[in-house]
Amino acid sequence: MIKKSIITTAIIAVLGSGYIGASWHTGNMIEANIDNKIQQITKQVDNYQNLFNVVIEYSDYQKAIFSTQLHLTIKLVPKDTDLQLEQDKNQAEKKQAETTIFNDEITIHHGPFPMVALAEGKFTPQIAWINYAMPEKSAPELWKLAGNQSFITANMGISYHEYLTIKLTNKALKLTDSAFTSHFDANYFIHGGLDVSDGNVIIESNEDFSSIVAKANIDKFSYYDNPKEPIITLNKFNLLAEPRPEKKGVNYTINANKIAFLIDEYSASRLTLDNLTYQGSLNNKYQAPNAHVTIDKITFEPDINQFNDSSIMIEKLTIAEENTLSTANTIDGWLKVDAQSVLFG
């Protein structure tokens, strides 16, 4: 009996030593590749859209056996190819226009099986796993409004095959009406008013972002820039985007019970879409989508203080669009629009 206990203890010791060694080696791998990985991510994000460049910076890098701590800053800098200024003025203007979306301490848990990843139900080996919960000190009033807990939490993992998993979740929060002006700290953080339910966004991708799966679900989202009326409202909104079977593009589906938004920032004219279903696909070779859209009702309500226009209501709208790349390297396509009724006034 004693001999079996000794053998068991020895096996546990060997396995424990092996895991410690693997975790330390993984930490060294992370340290050696973090700059290249940041450069790769920023390049992919910058090339994927035309709105902004992302800047990722870190400092206070402290590596231990099972984890690494560092201070991470993420900024968005608007892309502006039309600026005809001298280099120094151009940089100064971009510096003023940049937006910091993250500035906090994070902990990177080393693989191969970080405990925090196992707790999230991730049982495949991970080279790194990050759990982040917005601390109370970042926005104390947001913390209180979210029920004395983090308004936003995030998980991010990278497997040994460079497969990326990101999950963002938010807690329900209401910052509108009288709370709009009384909660200055929260209002400053959000840059407006917010009425939102619990929600989540999940993104999974391979190393070069050529195969992305994205999911988003939220029951209610209303964003305000003044206490009276939301700029945008989403009800029962969900999105699914995933690679096409041949991995040469993406298929996507958007469903929403309601989408409503102001036409522009200078008037109260509003467009409302009821019961929207949008199914589409996009080919990597040509950025012309194939789509099938159904909307039960579209309502345009003009700002009566600025316009004499009548309201417009379109019922049972269907839009179908197909595009193909011809042998002459031109895009051939067709568009079909159908509606049950169009009402003015």
Angle of CA points 160, 163, 166, to nearest 5°: 120
CB 117 within 8 A of CB 129: yes
pTM across the whole model: 0.75
The domain of 10 spans: 1-110
The DSSP symbol for 309 reads P
- From CA 14, how far away is CA 2, in angstroms rounded? 18
In a domain, 229, yes or no: no
Calculate the average pLDDT of the chain: 81
- 76 occurs within a structural domain: yes
The closest alpha carbon to 167, from 214, 209, 134, belongs to 214
99 has a pLDDT exceeding 50: yes
pLDDT in tens, 7-44: 444 444 444 456 677 787 788 888 888 899 888 888 87
pLDDT of the residue at 86: 45
Is 220:195 a contact under the CB 8 Å cutoff? yes
Q: What secondary structure letter does DSSP report for 225?
A: S
The pLDDT value given to residue 72: 92
Q: Model confidence over 259-317: pLDDT tens digits?
A: 998 877 666 788 999 999 999 987 766 666 789 999 999 999 887 666 666 788 999 99
H or E element, residue 322: strand 312-325
Say how many domains are in the chain: 1
If residue 299 lies in a helix (H) or strand (E), which one and from where to where?
strand 290-301
Q: What is the average per-residue pLDDT within 223-251?
A: 83
Q: The dihedral of CA 18, 20, 26, 31: what is its sign? A: negative
Q: What is the rounded average pLDDT of the residues 114-137?
A: 88
Determine the pLDDT at residue 83: 45
Q: What is the pLDDT of residues 153-176, one digit of tens each?
A: 999 999 888 888 999 999 998 876
Asked whether residue 220 is domain-assigned, the answer is no
**Reduced to 3 states, what is the DSSP secondary structure of residue 103?**
strand
DSSP state of 246: T
Could you tell me which residues come within 8 angstroms of residue 31 by beta carbon, excluding any fewer than 6 positions away? 61, 63, 68
Q: Which two tokens stand for residue 151?
A: 């308004």
In a domain, 50, yes or no: yes
* pLDDT band, very low/low/confident/very high, at 151 (cuts 50, 70, 90): confident
Render 153-166 in DSSP notation, one character per residue: EEEEEEETT--EEE
- Does 193 map to a domain? no
Q: Do residues 176 and 224 touch, judged by C-beta distance below 8 A?
A: yes
Q: Is residue 204's pLDDT more than 80? A: yes
What whole-number percentage of the chain has pLDDT above 90? 28
237 located within any domain: no
Q: Is residue 26 part of a domain?
A: yes
Which three-class secondary structure state does DSSP give residue 239? Answer: strand
Q: Judge whether 185 lies within some domain.
A: no
Cα–Cα distance measured from residue 164 to residue 59, given in angstroms and rounded to the nearest whole number:
23
